[in-house]
Amino acid sequence: MAIVRAFGGVLLALLTAVSVWSAPPALGGSVVRVVDGDTIHVRIDAGVEKVRYIGVNTPEVHHPTKGEEPGGREAAEVNRRLIEGKTVRLELDVRERDRYGRLLAYVWVGDVMVNAELVRLGYAQVMTVPPNVRYQQLFLKLQREAREAGRGLWRSS
């Protein structure tokens, strides 16, 4: 009986360690600024982090060489409506920062992942940068549906 209890305790500890290890890291904070369609500033504890959405790309609004791209203002406005002034949960993936030092995250407002919602509405395109590929298949499906339905940036003029 002691062996069964000891084995059960080891098994429970192992399962707990595996579930903690496999759970994606997450942070919470409040949105203090919407930069554009795929970048925001979030207050986390005493600091503010510049956060870049993982897996998606929206047209530029303030690019130093490209300038403003068609659809950039619309994508930024949709992003603003989804998250401005709200509390968000930031789900991290394998690589936590990009080459510019921005925190990379899947951004959640309640049960809605903003990255996916922007793709679903047609205001973001899929941009996969390995190793951060957790929701790639979902994003591709949503993009295909948005394009077929002519939503957002896929709308015919």
Task: Mark whether 148 is an active-site residue.
Answer: no
* Angle, CA 71 vertex, CA 106 and CA 141 arms, to 5°: 45
Task: Mark whether 52 is an active-site residue.
Answer: yes
Cα–Cα distance, 31 to 39 (Å, whole number): 11
Q: Which of 49, 52, 91, 120 is catalytic?
A: 52
> For residue 46, what are its two tokens?
């005493």
Task: Mark whether 73 is an active-site residue.
Answer: no
Q: Which of 49, 74, 91, 102 is catalytic?
A: 102
Cα–Cα distance, 87 to 147 (Å, whole number): 30
Q: Which of 49, 60, 74, 91 is catalytic?
A: 60
Catalytic residue ranges: 52, 60, 102
